Amino acid sequence: MEIRGHDTYFDIGSNTRGLNSVLCILARSVDREGMRSRTGRSGDAVPYWAEARGALCRADPILGTLILAAGGSVLRPRNDPFFSLSRSIVAQQISVHAAEAVWQKLIAHVGNMTPVAMASQTEDGLRSCGLSRQKARYLLSLAEHFTEGGLDRAPWRRMEDEAVIERLVEVKGIGRWTAEMFLIFYLLRPDVLPVADVGIQKAIATHFNAGVRPGPDEMFAIAEPWRPWRSVASWYLWRSLDAVPVEY
């Protein structure tokens, strides 16, 4: 087996002891990079990120190479539930690059992405940013839920993952995928595997399943060694497909 990461190259053949040694080297390498990334922007990095990177490298050499290839970049959390849900709605069923283009137009049109600012928009105005009529309605509905429906006062951080999902899918335009993005990017829950995400499906097929798109049960089985850090693993799977970090 050959393992490559940045300028590092290992050829360990079939020797189990060699494999374990390489995993330790990978883990130490990402731990050092994780510490550098955490000190680069005070308060920005996810607290458990460096620990998760090291643990994932020790658990899975293939994932370890993807983590090394991503360098020192990490998920940068945003303490804004409306931003997270809005951006996820925009990104539904379109590519990362298409979603970014629409999002930038939306920011330019709306200004500050707040529930009050969104609630003052018109459906036609939102559609002029590249949104479908359906997504424009979803964003207006979301703003109403925040300004009048108490969504902004929900005790998110005290709720279990499934309870968060159940609460969110009551909102028009929010399904399980959008709720899972909220768990990963806003609540920073460490062990979420969004099996309905096309990017995650593609990355697992490419790196772990000989190019064959796996079903949900197979994805969960492949990801079992990644517990309790499947959110972090998912982030690096996305990065393996696109140099632009995913943000919701």
Question: Based on the number of CB atoms within 10 Å of its own CB, is 156 exposed (0-12), middle (13-18) or buried (19 or more)?
Answer: middle
3-state secondary structure of 8: strand
* The amino acid at 12: I
Q: From the candidates 60, 124, 161, 197, give the one annotated as an active-site residue.
A: 197
Query: Can you give the pLDDT at residue 22?
Result: 57
Active site residue 197: yes
Lookup: tokens for 234: 């998912």
Half-sphere exposure for 107 (CA within 13 Å, toward CB):
8
CA angle, residues 173, 234, 153, in degrees to nearest 5: 45
Count the neighbouring beta carbons within 10 Å of the beta carbon of residue 190. Answer: 20
Domains and CATH numbers, the chain: 2-69 (no CATH), 81-185 (1.10.340.30), 198-241 (no CATH)
Q: Which residue has the tokens 């040694």?
A: 21
Query: Can you give the pLDDT at residue 152?
Result: 84
Phi, psi of 174 (to 5 degrees): -110, 120
User: 197-222 burial, b if ≥16 CB within 10 A, otherwise e?
Assistant: bebbbbbbbebbeeeeebeeebbeeb
The DSSP code for 4 is E
Query: Can you give the pLDDT at residue 26?
Result: 56
* Whole-model pTM over 0.95: no
Half-sphere exposure for 15 (CA within 13 Å, toward CB):
9
pLDDT tens digits in sequence order for the chain, 248 residues long? 444 443 344 444 444 445 545 555 655 655 555 445 443 343 467 999 999 999 999 999 999 999 999 988 889 888 899 999 999 999 999 988 899 999 999 999 999 999 999 999 999 999 999 999 999 999 999 999 999 988 988 899 999 999 999 999 999 999 999 999 999 999 999 999 999 999 999 999 999 999 999 999 999 999 999 999 999 999 999 999 988 788 88
Question: Based on the number of CB atoms within 10 Å of its own CB, is 171 exposed (0-12), middle (13-18) or buried (19 or more)?
Answer: buried
Query: Can you give the pLDDT at residue 37?
Result: 44
pLDDT tens digits, residue range 182-235? 999 999 999 999 999 999 999 999 999 999 999 999 999 999 999 999 999 999
Alpha-helical regions (H) of 169-224: 176-185, 198-208, 216-223
Query: Can you give the pLDDT at residue 44?
Result: 61
